[in-house]
Chains A and B, each alone.
Chain A
Amino acid sequence: MSADLDELREPAPEDLRADMTIDTVGLFCPVPIIRTSEAMKRIGAGSVLEVISDDRVILIDMPAWCRSTGHRYLGARRSDEAFHLFVKKAEGTRS
């Protein structure tokens, strides 16, 4: 993963804990977003989903998906081989 896109990463708060985690490492775009959408349907409003992905462009796509659906993008952390993105399910979202 190169640094240029990582610079776009909005850091997630250190104390943030997820209610559900999905691992999409190794999956090609747009499968991680499809899995995210499916997972969000299984959690309640206000819950936080963590999505693990090694696809660096998800740092662009996930915030866009959140803006389109109304969910709240909370930012991402980076580990050695993957990004950990956090999304909060909003009340009465469009998806």
Chain B
Amino acid sequence: MTAESGRRIKAIGLISGGLDSTLAARVLVEQGLDVVGLHFSTGFCMNDHRRALDRPGEDPRRMRNEGLRAGADLQIPIEVLDAGEAYLKMVLNPRHGYGKRANPCIDCRIYMIHGAADYMREHGGDFIFTGEVLGQRPMSQHMQALRLIEKECGIEGYLLRPLSAHHLPPTKPEELGWVDRNRLMGISGRSRKEQMALSEQWGLKDYPQPSGGCCFLADESFARRFHDKRDHTPIDSIKREEMILLKVGRHFRLSPAVKIIVARDASENQFLTRFAGLGWSFEALDTGSPLTLAEGEPDEATRRLIASITARYSDRRNQALVEVAARRGDTEERLIVPPVADAALEGWRI
């Protein structure tokens, strides 16, 4: 498809690599447009985290970058963009609030579409598209939300949703003849049957499980930790590293000022080791032990409690007393403590 000048029309799309964004891009490729995909790295992608942990035996397909996989399948260039600190600020202070978990879906879409608009201004492009499907997600994909997102991004008329286009007013690309509206889709709702039929038709077989979700912000367990962090920390001081740590281990809040993270396996131990220099860390001696990191400044009694919790998750959990090292910088204390009782743990678990 070309403009009046004969120039090829270029569409800039948000490509997560999920089924919907892949199909949306494919719909436009079918119409002969130049398509460029933008894949935002938010820091909250589960695949990226699995990759950082690198557990033995993990299926590589659960660790790969799905945006790049989609780009390879469709033969379209993918630009991977780091969403950065501004994205974290948005996640901590979403103007339109959170969904059921810690998911600021409306603000997230606005952030990414703004980013796509900036990319389009810098690198050229005629309009933006997304794989949004009307009525598929309760927070961000109902009619009012779709209109709000477009309005707030300041690109009214230039945001195309190819999969749900027939349910939405014609966009400029359709009115100008850049895109054939008749060859766009009229998909709506939560069922993925039509998308799966399309993927079959186009031979797109290697995509992540539809609606499986790759975002920590929509995960129940992560969301509890996220909101606990927001409730106990000045929001403006929360750093990216603290968000990374919310993804790992068992979390216990021992007081308003002290929280601990207990690794669950060797991969998490290795992962947490990178953060051990930030404060107190605990480890049972001469046995298999989780690494436990403390956030805040635990006093002597609290350090004994943390040592007891660490002992509980060590290989000596059935012994009466366990020796635990508590370290901070060059300081090391040796604490001999009983493993804490399971019943007591539940009151602290986040």
Contact = CB atoms under 8 A, between A and B. Distances in A.
Contacts of A57: 51, 60, 63-64
A30 B57 CA distance: 21
A51 B54 CA distance: 20
Nearest to A60: B64
B219 interface: no
B54 A70 contact: no
A61 to B, nearest CB: 5
Contact of B56 (A2, A34, A55, A61): A2
Contacts of A30: 39, 41, 48, 65, 68, 80
A69 B79 CA distance: 9
A43 interface: no
Contacts of A28: 48, 51-52
A41 to B, nearest CB: 11
A5 B60 contact: yes
Q: Which among B51, B68, B69 has the greatest number of chain A C-beta atoms within 10 A?
A: B68
B72 interface: yes
B197 to A, nearest CB: 25
B156 interface: no
Interface residues of B, number: 28
A68 B76 contact: yes
B76 A61 contact: no
Nearest to B59: A4
A6 B276 CA distance: 30
B75 interface: yes
Nearest to B56: A2
Given A4-B60, A5-B60, A29-B48, A61 B79 contact: no
Interface in B15-41: 36-37, 39, 41
Interface string A14-42: 00000000000000111101100100000
A34 B41 contact: yes
A9 interface: no
Interface in B54-107: 54, 56-57, 60, 63-65, 68-69, 71-72, 74-82
Contacts of B69: 60, 64
Contact of A68 (B47, B54, B77): B77
Contacts of B80: 30, 33-34, 37
A8 B64 CA distance: 13
A24 to B, nearest CB: 13
Contacts of B74: 68
A68 B65 contact: no
Nearest to A93: B77
A57 B59 CA distance: 10
Contacts of B75: 67-68
B55 to A, nearest CB: 10
Interface in B266-280: none
Interface of B: 36-37, 39, 41, 47-48, 51-52, 54, 56-57, 60, 63-65, 68-69, 71-72, 74-82
Given A28-B51, A64-B65, A64-B72, 8 more contacts: A29-B48, A30-B39, A56-B54, A61-B65, A61-B68, A68-B78, A94-B36, A95-B79
Closest 3 CB pairs of A and B: A68-B71, A67-B72, A94-B77
